[in-house]
């Protein structure tokens, strides 16, 4: 990793020279701490505690780039200056291995408590909590380059420790995984590791199997001309964290905070879960002046007064899918002056009386209540929390009576004969032969996985009949489906056979197809990423060529991972060595492009065609 990131230290120092010259003198100083706890990779720990801070200050972990150090990141960025202003503690870990890069590649680093650098950094946090009265409920992480990659890794390994993270010039968690002793992953660095949002999300979740609590909010930064860690990684990070946080990949807001910056936000107004900054024409040299402050703003650390405003009260929960042992709850989300971070779910037994106790948490406005007793009445309430720990009033209760148990422990038989028909660009119709049960089948769960192999089957719907209409699919994409039956006691059958379909559309000609995805857009431009190429033939193709037409006035301003030529408004894209060869049914999503357009013109490219030799 050292050979590719060796110039980053110089870039950082050149960018911020002069920015900190006006920083007022402080009695506080950067202090090295030794013997801070378990430290399997021999990291060094530096901590900055500002003179003025509250009794329980928040904690920020600031992780340096390759060839850097904790003291260099302290001197070359604005985080310590902001700590002076807003009263939080900053931990600066320092890597000691050759090249001074952090381990974001080994299995030990990519597994919770597996060893290596993340364990040492967690020990630093514990030391600050125990010895400097740090607030363990307000811990944040940021970093640049190698530190940006480590930011993503830490959010995957320790979602219960960090409230939020800001990754500058990073890559998705697990993207850099390798057994190479150099710890360098060329494919990831070059933006060639392309996965679905579900696959990226599963990779992050697998760092801490079984964890179901709140997940950290994420801010992402990347320059479009980064040649060290390709800009393509920016889109893959967005896929990963929107999936992990359970929000749409379509931003609810897109704006331009300043010239050349495009900011997209994911989640909802008042509850931003992912915030992504695209910096036009900038290479591997972030954070720039003012960007550290925006990270602190995102964390909620920049308020000069303590946030004492609680979220609004959630709506009354609505119960569905009630069985003998479980129920699904959903409610109208709360709003907050800064942002809702999660919900507590409370339960009391009986239609009246009793005491409400917390039985779970949720980061979205739904919750699966399990472990209930058959033929029993419960009441559920929810309350919202924000980053400052303020809690809303509890919602009105919903009363739920579970189904009769009658001692039924026999599951229905597995459904059979699952088949799909009427497949379109965005949907398909499923039908199957019904299950039988000793008492009676009450419904079916419909499961979906993307791709011809691999991936994870997740529930996408339910049906009380032996058919289901699937919607919301992507054109020219392969999906697999299964169904399973449920009875009134909550017993679930084995899954049915698997039905596989490939949706229509996307401009198919010859033996391949091209399907565009709009990653982001603003008034004067947009990004298509990825343009997914799929081999629709029955034999392997060695290469592909895609053509499409730009609307009048639109001009191509950038592209990656293909050879591109233009003639007027006509664009021709040819595969390169690593993404041309595709097996039957296989796809590649490594190519994307950026377009400038007249202000307010919302047209998109048309006439996509794909051909092979």
Residue with structure tokens 């021999």?
42
- C-beta atoms surrounding 202 within 10 Å: 18
Tokens of 478: 């392969």
Task: State the Cα–Cα distance between residues 143 and 138, nearest whole angstrom.
Answer: 17
Tokens of 330: 């959903």
Task: Give me the residues paired with residue 547 across strands.
Answer: 572, 609
Length of the chain counted residue by residue: 613
Tokens of 226: 């980064």
Choose among 187, 298, 276, 292: nearest CA to 527. 276
Sheet containing strand 428-433, strands side by side = 416-421, 428-433, 467-470
520 touches 527 (CB < 8 A): yes
Cβ neighbors of 310 (< 8 A, separation 6 or more) are 336, 384, 386, 390, 391, 392, 393
User: Using the 8-state DSSP alphabet, how is residue 358 labeled?
Assistant: E
Distance from first CA to last CA of the chain, Å, rounded? 38
Q: Is the peptide bond before 530 cis (omega within 30 degrees of 0)?
A: yes
Task: State the Cα–Cα distance between residues 12 and 544, nearest whole angstrom.
Answer: 40
Q: What DSSP letter does each residue of 224-282 carry, written as one string?
A: TT-TTTTTHHHHHHHHHHHHHTT--SS-SEEE-SSTTEEEEEEEETTEEEEEEEEETT-
559 assigned to active site: no
250 touches 184 (CB < 8 A): no
Helix axes 197-205, 232-244, angle to 10 degrees: 70
Catalytic residue among 94, 100, 105, 145: 145
Tokens of 490: 């909550």
Enumerate the active-site residues.
Answer: 145
């Amino acid at each position: 990793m050292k050979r590719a990131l060796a110039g980053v230290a110089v870039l950082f120092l050149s960018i911020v020279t002069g920015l900190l010259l006006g920083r007022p003198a402080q009695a506080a100083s950067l202090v090295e701490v030794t013997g801070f706890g378990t430290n399997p990779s021999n990291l060094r720990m530096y901590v900055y505690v500002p003179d003025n801070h509250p009794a329980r200050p928040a904690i920020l972990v600031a992780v340096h780039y390759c060839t850097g150090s904790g003291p260099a990141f302290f001197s070359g960025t604005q985080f310590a200056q902001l700590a002076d202003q807003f009263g939080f503690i900053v931990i600066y870990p320092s890597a000691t291995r050759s090249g001074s890069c952090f381990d974001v590649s080994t299995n030990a680093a990519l597994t919770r408590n597996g060893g290596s650098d993340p364990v040492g950094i967690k020990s630093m946090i514990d030391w600050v909590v125990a010895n400097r009265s740090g607030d363990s409920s307000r811990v944040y992480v940021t970093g640049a380059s190698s530190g940006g990659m480590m930011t993503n890794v830490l959010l995957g390994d320790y979602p219960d420790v960090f409230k939020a993270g800001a990754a500058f010039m990073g890559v998705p968690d697990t993207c850099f995984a390798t057994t190479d002793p150099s710890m360098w992953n060329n494919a990831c660095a070059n933006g060639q590791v392309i996965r679905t949002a579900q696959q990226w999300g599963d990779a992050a979740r697998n760092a801490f199997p079984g964890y179901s609590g709140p997940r950290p909010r994420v801010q992402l930064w990347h320059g479009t001309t980064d040649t060290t860690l390709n800009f393509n990684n920016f889109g893959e990070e967005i896929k990963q964290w929107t999936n992990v946080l359970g929000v749409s990949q379509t931003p609810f807001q897109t704006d331009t905070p300043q010239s050349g910056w495009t900011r997209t936000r994911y989640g909802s107004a008042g509850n931003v879960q992912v915030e992504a900054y695209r910096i036009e024409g900038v290479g591997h040299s972030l954070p720039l002046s003012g960007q550290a402050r925006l990270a602190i703003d995102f964390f909620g650390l920049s308020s000069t007064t303590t946030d004492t405003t609680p979220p609004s009260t959630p709506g009354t929960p609505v119960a569905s899918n009630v069985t003998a042992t479980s129920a699904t709850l959903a409610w109208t989300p709360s709003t907050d002056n800064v942002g809702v971070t999660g919900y507590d779910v409370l339960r009391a037994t009986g239609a009246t009386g009793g005491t409400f106790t917390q039985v779970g948490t949720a980061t979205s406005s739904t919750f699966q209540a399990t472990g209930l007793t058959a033929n029993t009445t419960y009441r559920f309430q929810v309350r919202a929390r924000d980053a400052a720990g303020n809690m809303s009033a509890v919602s009105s209760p919903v009363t739920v009576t579970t189904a009769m148990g009658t001692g039924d422990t026999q599951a229905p038989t597995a459904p059979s004969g699952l088949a799909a028909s009427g497949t379109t660009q965005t949907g398909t119709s499923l039908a199957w032969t019904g299950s039988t049960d000793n008492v009676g089948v009450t419904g079916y769960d419909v499961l979906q996985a993307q791709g011809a192999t691999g991936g994870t089957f997740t529930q996408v719907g339910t049906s009380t009949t032996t058919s289901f209409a699937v919607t919301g699919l992507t054109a020219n994409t392969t999906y697999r489906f299964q169904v399973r039956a449920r009875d009134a006691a909550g017993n679930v059958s084995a899954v049915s056979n698997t039905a596989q379909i490939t949706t229509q559309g996307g401009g198919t000609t010859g033996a391949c197809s091209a399907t565009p995805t709009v990653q982001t857009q603003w008034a004067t431009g947009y990004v298509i990423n990825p343009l997914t190429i799929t081999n629709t033939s029955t034999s392997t193709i060695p290469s592909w060529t895609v053509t499409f037409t730009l609307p009048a006035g639109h001009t191509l301003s950038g592209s990656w991972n293909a050879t591109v030529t233009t003639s007027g408004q006509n664009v021709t894209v040819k595969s390169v060595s690593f993404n041309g060869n595709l097996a039957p049914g296989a796809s590649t999503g490594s190519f994307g492009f950026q377009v400038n357009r007249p202000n307010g013109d919302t047209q998109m490219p048309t006439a996509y065609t794909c051909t092979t030799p």
